[in-house]
Amino acid sequence: MPESPVPSLFDRIGGEDGVRALVDRFYDLMDDHPDYAQLRAMHDSNLFPMRVSLTQFLAAWLGGPRTWFDVRPGACIMSAHRGMGISRQTAAQWVHAMSRAMAESRVDPAVGAQMQASFLRMANAMLLNARDQEAHR
């Protein structure tokens, strides 16, 4: 098949290395900065598996290799977050840490703006799902 003339966001972020740099910065910030303490507390003490998982998810989501989906047939990122008890505070911390990680890992601002808009929508949807679950408990 001929290669697409339009570079994917995965290409524009610098491929696998670019995604890994972003994800590493995101979890380093979450681990080190008190602004993200509540978000950090939701995660396992060992962040290594999450570094691998989020790198694979974002690579696929940005148009790169589909490993995350291949090893989890039928998986849905929204369903994966149901029952995590996401709050307004932890959703805001996630979006803030990711925005900061994009700036600090030098993601092209045009690419970062597109990603940020999608992250905001996803985080809001995850928050609404969590509230919905709470209301039906």
- Min. distance of Cβ 45 from ligand HEM in angstroms? 9
Question: Among residues 2 and 114, whose Cβ is nearest to ligand HEM?
Answer: 114
Q: Where are the beta strands (DSSP E) in the chain?
A: none
Can you spell out the DSSP letters for 90-107?
A: HHHHHHHHHHHHHHHTT-
Copy the structure tokens of residue 45: 């003490």
Q: Which of 26, 27, 81, 97 is the binder for ligand HEM (CB under 6 A)?
A: 81
Question: Among residues 88 and 106, whose Cβ is nearest to ligand HEM?
Answer: 88
In the stretch 47-66, what mask flags binding to ligand HEM with x, by CB under 6 A? ---x--xx--x---------
Question: Among residues 1 and 48, whose Cβ is nearest to ligand HEM?
Answer: 48
Q: How many CA atoms lie within 13 A of 89 on its CB side?
A: 9
Measure the CA–CA gap between 68 and 58, rounded to whole angstroms.
Answer: 9
Measure the CA–CA gap between 90 and 123, rounded to whole angstroms.
Answer: 9
* Binding positions for ligand HEM, rule: CB under 6 A: 39, 42-44, 50, 53-54, 57, 77, 80-81, 84, 86, 90-91, 94, 119, 122-123, 126
